[in-house]
A and B are shown apart, each in its own frame.
Chain A
Amino acid sequence: MTGHVETNEAHRTSPPGRGIFDPQLLDRCISCGFCLPACPTYAVSQDEGSSPRGRITLMRALETGRLDEDDPRLREESSFCLGCRACEPVCPAGVQYGDLLEEWRDHQWRGRHRPPLAQVLMMVAERTPLLRAMGVVRRHARTAPRPADTSLMLGCFERGLYPGLSWTVRTLLPDIAVPAQQGCCGALHAHNGESERGRELARRLGEELPGVIVTTAGGCAAHLAGVLGRDRVHELSEHLAKTGAAPVGEVTVDGRRARVAIQDSCHLRNGLRVFAEPRALISTVAEFVPVTGDDSCCGSAGTYSLLRPRDSRRILDPKLDAFEAAAVDYVVAVNPGCLRQLQTGLRRRGSAIRAVHLADLLAAAAGGRPLPRGVPWRVPRILTRLGRGSRQRGAARSTDGWSA
């Protein structure tokens, strides 16, 4: 009648693996659980299986064959994980969770198991002519191809959504080369079950852009640095700090220094450990406001906000509450995906806070294009109501589900 232990494996060493994971990486975890408080999906679920430690237990079960890849929980967790790597800096045992996740998705999402939307995005990112067409609107931003020791990378998200960003960066770094001929860095692939292809694309981009590659996208920076080496890749704030280019001017709102918060880019913070630099830059041109949780994932997480919109909003909403409670004028993002996520979320709630890229803030301070004004987004009434409705539904579901 009652269950008995079906597999009491106490006092037994682990059986040989299936070769899905690098045993060196998988063996690192000592299951101490220090990662639990850092994990955004554990925070909303309070379920061990949705924590880094629990997911590693699942990976081990997959590796040893105790669970197979068709197990619904394995499938769910491989996609529920944001891949934000917030578990890495707090891990005393040095588990490289991001690498494990890539290996997991390589196996779990192979072939037909990959989310179709991720497949489409990767195909778009690989078509260089398409990317170039997306960048055509700001042709004036490009310099003629010339040998340079520092080039600006044009991220895929950025070309599609923020074509003006590279122009803004050029006002800050007049000497930087912006070659038109460049492909995708492959971060998208690496995070969606195609890690080998992701590395190949990064290597190719490394050949297209010799010397130091500067990027406005924290996510791309971390992936590129992982393949090309840390020295060859500078995220924008890091580059400004390293080259000693001190920002000038000030951003004001109603005659006072603007109150500005930050949303870290997860891979920039947790992968490359760059988080002091953008804060220092903001502090020189505005009043920097630290906000609790500004270091945790916004739910954008690469393709996550597209693949899992509801979970993405559950992660984002408490953060927007915190930014609003801190009464900031602007939230600075250092990754276009995060910028998009914040703008969408703030607009949805009709907030007076505007999300801007760090480059926009610094350029505005230096007398460049002014930032959007801090008036509430004008959202049509009916849309607002719809938005609220769905928020409430989401909240209700999360409470009777797995909410903390």
Chain B
Amino acid sequence: MSLDRALVAELQAIVGGEHVRTDRGDVEPYARDATPVFRAVPDAVVWPRTSEEVAAVLRLATQRHVPVVPRGAGSNLCAATVAERGGIVLVLTRMNRILEISPDELLARVEAGVTTAALADAAAAKGLLYAPDPGSRTVSTVGGNVATCAGGLRGLKYGVTRNYVLGATAVLPTGEVIRSGGRLWKDVAGYDLTRLLTGSEGTLGVLTEVTVALLPMPATTNTGVAYFPTLADAGRAVGAIIGDGIVPATLEFLDAKCIGAVEEYANLGLRLDAGALLLFGDDGPADVVDRNLGRIGEQCTANGAMEVTLAESVARSEALLTARRCSLPALSRLGTLTLLEDATVPRPRLAEMVDRIDDIADRYDVPIATFGHAGDGNLHPTCVVDQRDEAAIDRAHKAFGDVFAAAIDMDGTITGEHGVGAAKLPYLQARLGADQMALLRRIKAAFDPAGILNPGKLGS
């Protein structure tokens, strides 16, 4: 089935004829995002240019009970933008203006479709830092980052996207345009709707404009790498580093399988005999960075590190960070279907969790490699299988079910930064419990009485 002609004509009247596409070949590329396996072809793709156009589209959709799935760059990893119930995919990439960078107020105001890298570059040009740096920053949009509360490599010291959203303009499914928050760091007038919209995964409203906080650009950054015989040693070192009063900007880990895959891909000269690699980095005044990295190195050595090296140049430092960012795609070269999760546990239990993941992988006979954000306890267990081997895919899904259960058992969560989307909805109740699930549904109904916005995801 497809949308009826009258509805398509009305959509065209709102955004212009060429910004509505319904032909089979035109909508096919929007059948999926960066999440493997999930695929559903929408009936229409619509590209609005203004909040008013978004409002008109949503009013129409509510009236006619047509599902609407907001989409930025489609780089999310939880099938948040897959139109499982069909309907309209609303692409916000035409709303790509940087409206304001204010050094005096340390903030930026951008339209939702601006890419994360474009915002960061514009801020950097004025000597400012936009701190959140999700792995897909060159592709992802700021609107998408806010909608999924994107994390990144600097989470330990700088937090995640939610810590930087000061205000948001959102269009409600019923057509009202609301502005929550604004340019203020202190503002307690009313429920914190900005926080509610952040991470709402396009189920409560369509974000069209965001005001984010910026920081002064740190003078220098540097990175180092430490190799450990086992991941448990690396886990102890992480505890010791933070116990020593240092909160580094970056504290990432790769297990042995990841080290091999990344080295194969990037040829960085990583040690292949290590059981774990800890990538650490800090930024700030040069003397502080030097001192912190020195102390981190000492803690690593004291906890059994085989080798500690500091990046001798900015380029080398950048290369190491790039290597961490490319862990996932590097792993993906080992097979044709890459399943990536992001179970998260309290920081001290990181190594224990990795052990449990390894046990689960053995039990289900699937290869799982793990990398992630050691400082945040945020793991990315990654399973690479052949996409034509249905039995293996089935075993992998069962293994991840056990991984989520283990994370919850350890006071952790099913997803640290990727989101719930369609991919993790089946596991959400185990994390939240029946009462919170019911509350989520009531919140969803308050925003979206007709249930048209990203149905089948959060709050459904």
Measured CB to CB, the residues of A under 8 A from B are 1-14, 27-28, 30-34, 36-37, 46-49, 51, 53-55, 57-58, 61, 66-67, 71-74, 77, 91-94, 400-402, 404
Q: Indicate whether B1 reaches chain A with its CB closer than 8 angstroms.
A: yes
> Could you name 27 residue pairs across A and B whose Cβ atoms are closer than 8 Å?
A2-B65, A2-B87, A4-B1, A4-B85, A5-B83, A5-B84, A7-B41, A10-B422, A13-B37, A28-B333, A30-B34, A31-B32, A33-B34, A33-B74, A33-B75, A36-B73, A37-B138, A37-B139, A47-B29, A55-B29, A57-B31, A58-B29, A71-B24, A72-B23, A74-B25, A94-B265, A400-B18
A3 with B86: in contact, given A13-B393, A33-B139, A67-B28 (CB under 8 Å)?
yes
A1 to B36, CA, bound (A): 30
- Hey, which chain B residues are within 8 Å of A400, CB to CB? 16, 18
Q: Which of B24-49 contact A (CB under 8 A)?
A: 24-26, 28-44, 47
Nearest 5 Cβ contacts at the A-B interface = A73-B25, A92-B329, A3-B43, A54-B29, A27-B336
Query: Which residues from chain B contact A5 at a C-beta distance below 8 Å?
Result: 40-41, 83-86
Of the residues A2, A10, A14, A55, contact of B3 by C-beta under 8 Å: A2
A73–B65 Cα distance when bound, in Å, is 29
**In contact, B117 and A37 (Cβ under 8 angstroms):** yes
Closest A residue to B76 by CB, please name it: A33
- B187 close to A (CB within 8 Å): no
**Residues in B neighbouring A31, C-beta threshold 8 A:** 32-36
Beyond A5-B41, A36-B139, whether A57 also contacts B32 by CB under 8 A is yes
B82: chain A residues at CB < 8 Å are 10
Q: Of residues A8, A61, A91, A404, which shows the largest number of chain B Cβ atoms within 10 Å of its Cβ? A: A8
Name the distance in Å between B110's Cβ and chain A's nearest Cβ.
Answer: 15
Q: Does B179 sit at the interface, judged by CB under 8 A?
A: no
The interface centre, meaning the residue of B18, B28, B265, B390 with most chain A CB atoms within 10 A of its CB, is: B28
Contacts of B34 in A (CB 8 A): 30-33
Contact A3:B44 (CB < 8 A) given known A33-B75, A48-B29, A58-B28: yes
Q: Which of B7, B34, B136, B139 has the most CB of A within 10 A?
A: B139
| Chain B residues within an 8 Å CB radius of A14 | 387-388
Residues of chain B having any CB pair with chain A under 8 Å = 1-4, 7, 16, 18, 23-26, 28-44, 47, 64-67, 73-75, 79, 82-87, 91, 93-94, 96, 115, 117, 136, 138-139, 265, 326, 328-330, 332-333, 336, 338, 387-388, 390, 393, 422
Interface contacts (Cβ under 8 Å), in number, total 159
User: Distance in Å from the Cβ of A67 to the closest Cβ of chain B?
Assistant: 6
Contact B66 A2 (CB under 8 A): yes
Is the CB–CB distance between B74 and A30 below 8 Å? no
Which single residue of chain A is at the shortest CB-CB distance from B17? A400
CB A97 to nearest CB in B, in angstroms, measures 14
Contact of A32 among B4, B41, B136 (CB under 8 A): B136
Least CB distance from A189 to B in Å reads: 26
Q: Which of B25, B75, B115, B330 contacts A92 (CB 8 A)?
A: B330
The closest CB in chain A to the CB of B79 belongs to A10
Given A5-B41, A37-B115, also A30-B25 (CB < 8 A): no
In-complex Cβ contact of B1 among A3, A33, A72, A91 (8 A): A3
A5 to B36, CA, bound (A): 18
What residues of chain B lie closer than 8 Å to A11, measured between beta carbons?
37-38
Question: Given A10-B422, A27-B387, A31-B34, do A93 and B28 touch, yes or no (CB 8 Å)?
Answer: no
> In the complex, which residue of chain B has the Cβ closest to the Cβ of A1?
B4
| Complex CA–CA separation, A72 to B27 (angstroms) | 12
Q: Which residues of chain B are within 8 angstroms of A37 by Cβ–Cβ distance?
A: 115, 117, 138-139
| Minimum C-beta distance from A200 to chain B (A) | 31
Contacts of A54 in B (CB 8 A): 29
Residues of A within 8 A of B18 (CB): 400-402
Q: Which residues of B contact A7 (CB under 8 A)?
A: 40-41
Contacts of A58 in B (CB 8 A): 25, 28-29
Bound complex: CA of A5 vs CA of B40, how far in Å? Answer: 7
Chain B residue nearest to A27 (CB atoms) is: B336
Q: How far is the CA of A91 from the CA of B328 in the complex (A)?
A: 12
CA distance A61 to B37 in the complex (A): 14
Closest A residue by C-beta to B36: A30
Q: Which residues of A contact B328 (CB under 8 A)?
A: 30, 32, 92
A10 to B326, CA, bound (A): 26
Minimal beta-carbon separation of B256 from chain A (angstroms) = 20
Chain A residues lying within 8 Å of B84, measured Cβ to Cβ, are 5, 8, 10
In the complex, what's the smallest C-beta–C-beta distance from B399 to chain A, in angstroms? 16
Instruction: Give the CA-CA distance A89 to B249 in the complex, in Å.
Output: 28
A354 to B1, CA, bound (A): 56
B336: nearest residue on chain A (CB-CB)?
A27
Do A6 and B388 touch (CB < 8 A)?
no
Q: Using CB atoms, name the residue of chain B closest to A66.
A: B28
**Are B28 and A2 in contact, with the CB atoms below 8 A?**
no
Contact of A67 with B75 in the complex, beta carbons under 8 Å: no
Contacts of B1 in A (CB 8 A): 2-4, 6
The answer on a CB contact under 8 Å between B25 and A404 is no
> How far is it, in angstroms, between the C-alpha of A254 and the C-alpha of B326 when the chains are bound?
48
Q: Across the interface, which residues of A come within 8 angstroms of B139, CB to CB? A: 32-34, 36-37
- Given the complex, which residues of B lie within 8 Å of A94, measured CB to CB? 265, 333
In the complex the two chains form, is A67's CB within 8 Å of B24's CB? yes
Residues of B within 8 A of A402 (CB): 18
On chain B, the residues within 8 Å of A8 by CB distance are: 40, 84
Residue from B7, B31, B91 whose CB has the most chain A CB atoms within 10 Å:
B31
| CB closest residue in chain A, given B88 | A3
A72–B28 alpha-carbon span in the complex (Å): 12
Whole-angstrom distance from the CB of B138 to the nearest CB of chain A?
5
Cross-chain contact A13 with B390 (CB below 8 angstroms):
yes
Q: Which residues does chain B contribute within 8 Å of A27, judged by CB atoms? A: 336, 387
Residues of B contacting A57 in the complex (Cβ-Cβ under 8 angstroms): 28-29, 31-32
